[in-house]
Amino acid sequence: MQRDLVKQLLYDMLLARRFEEAAAEQYTQGKVAGFLHLYPGEEAVAVGSLRAAEPGDYVVSTYREHVHALMRDVPPGAVMAEMFGRATGCSGGYGGSMHLFSAEHRFLGGYAIVGETFPVAIGAGYWLAMNRSPDVVLCFFGEGAANQGTFHESLNMAALWKLPVLFICENNHYQIGTEVHRQAAVVEVYKRGCGNGVPGRRVDGMDVLAVHQAARDALEQVRGGNGPFLLECDTYRFRGHSMADGGAYRSALEVAELKARDPLLNLRNRALENGWLNEEDIEALHQKAHGVVEEAIRFAGQSPAPDDLYQGVYRRPLDLYAGRP
């Protein structure tokens, strides 16, 4: 049982890490346009929590959402193709890196506006509550988003109406270059739920097994009709805020100390120490993850661009110039 879970989680962590490294390489080669926010260091949060969720649950995420989409089983090729702006992408190539979406996988999107995930999540939660559905919503956000008004407004409504929403804070300690103690008077985000009637707790977000267990407990509570819960995962991003950020505001020592707590190595070492997996098992998982990402890149690269870039917009620029309504 534990072996199967660890094997699944380690594969997911390897896939997540390789996918994001490959995305950075593709960006550097000019294949991915626009902004690109990567997830290395934070993998245990999406992997641990989403592997504790049910297929019927809904997920709302931020612009740092590639791994969340993968953990909802959106095919890696469809995620990579979206980042390449291709028609086979999960948003038809119109969204790009920050706007992955798949209704089929109940992945209600990545959102670029900080704090935008909260109202979307409680809207979905309201619909589920109205229909007395057993499904719940998992709403991801960064600690910087807890400073937005939408955080408090949404938590208040969710608690008042006992909506089935699990709020998951990815506290990576930085809001672009601003460290958490410079942007928030209360740096532990879970404590900020209680003023709105939302209970919460903090978990080590560098430990995927701890996140998985905490998410399972929280989901059971939310699914049981007890209203929302706030799970704060204490984590760290190894790269800059986006590809455009060199991260000069952090010392090399700080980054090195956090890299020593790498969630991927952490799980790998525990799997070996406990005899859950051996070196060959791990190598096979590593090879499989690399192969899947290679195939995703090939698929994206061979996919066509969307036929009509203006499909779905209210007015075509050429119509405007020609004076047509």
Ligand X SMILES: Cc1ncc(C[n+]2csc(CCOP(=O)(O)OP(=O)(O)O)c2C)c(N)n1
Q: Which of 61, 88, 150, 172 binds Mg ion (CB under 5 A)?
A: 172
Q: Determine the residue with CB nearest ligand X.
A: 142
What would you measure as the largest C-alpha separation in the chain, in angstroms?
A: 71
Least distance (Å) from Mg ion to the CB of residue 48?
18
Please, which residue, 46 or 52, has the CB nearer to ligand X? Answer: 46
Please, which residue, 110 or 142, has the CB nearer to Mg ion? Answer: 142
The H-assigned helical ranges of the chain are 2-28, 43-50, 66-71, 76-83, 117-130, 149-160, 180-183, 208-223, 252-259, 263-273, 279-302, 317-321
Least distance (Å) from ligand X to the CB of residue 115?
6
Q: What distances in angstroms separate CA 81 from CA 15, 21, 31, 36, 62, one per listed residue? A: 16, 16, 10, 14, 19
Stretch that binds Mg ion, among 138-146, 199-207, 244-252, 303-311 (CB under 5 A): 138-146
Chain centroid to CA 116: how far?
14
Which partner from the list ligand X, Mg ion, none does 64 bind, CB cut-off 5 to 8 Å by kind? ligand X
What does R_g of the chain's alpha carbons equal in angstroms? Answer: 20
Please, which residue, 176 or 210, has the CB nearer to ligand X? Answer: 176
Please, which residue, 135 or 170, has the CB nearer to ligand X? Answer: 170
Q: Determine the residue with CB nearest Mg ion.
A: 142
Which partner from the list ligand X, Mg ion, none does 101 bind, CB cut-off 5 to 8 Å by kind? none
Distance CA 21, CA 240 (A): 13
DSSP state of 138: E
Angle at 65 between CA 235 and CA 247, to 5 degrees: 55
Least distance (Å) from ligand X to the CB of residue 77?
25
Which partner from the list Mg ion, ligand X, none does 82 bind, CB cut-off 5 to 8 Å by kind? none
List, in order, residues 6 or more apart from 320 with CB less than 8 Å away: none
Please, which residue, 33 or 305, has the CB nearer to ligand X? Answer: 33
Helix (H, G, I), strand (E, B) or coil at 124: helix
Which element (helix H / strand E) includes 171?
strand 165-171
Please, which residue, 139 or 289, has the CB nearer to Mg ion? Answer: 139
Could you count the other beta carbons within 10 Å of the beta carbon of residue 219? 21
Least distance (Å) from ligand X to the CB of residue 43?
13
Q: How many residues form the binding site for Mg ion (CB under 5 A)?
A: 4
Stretch that binds Mg ion, among 13-21, 137-145, 159-167, 181-189 (CB under 5 A): 137-145
Taking CB under 5 A as the rule, does residue 164 contact Mg ion?
Answer: no
Least distance (Å) from Mg ion to the CB of residue 175?
5
Least distance (Å) from ligand X to the CB of residue 251?
18
Stretch that binds Mg ion, among 34-42, 136-144, 192-200, 277-285 (CB under 5 A): 136-144
Work out whether strand 174-175 and strand 165-171 pair parallel, antiparallel, or are unpaired.
unpaired
Which element (helix H / strand E) includes 203?
strand 200-204
Please, which residue, 170 or 232, has the CB nearer to ligand X? Answer: 170
Please, which residue, 105 or 237, has the CB nearer to Mg ion? Answer: 237
Q: Which of 41, 93, 96, 142 binds Mg ion (CB under 5 A)?
A: 142
Contact 94, 102 (CB under 8 A): no
User: Which residues bind to ligand X, rule: CB under 6 A?
Assistant: 64, 112-115, 142-145, 170, 172, 174-176, 241
Half-sphere exposure of 26 (CA within 13 A, CB side): 27
Which residues are near Mg ion by CB under 5 A?
142-144, 172
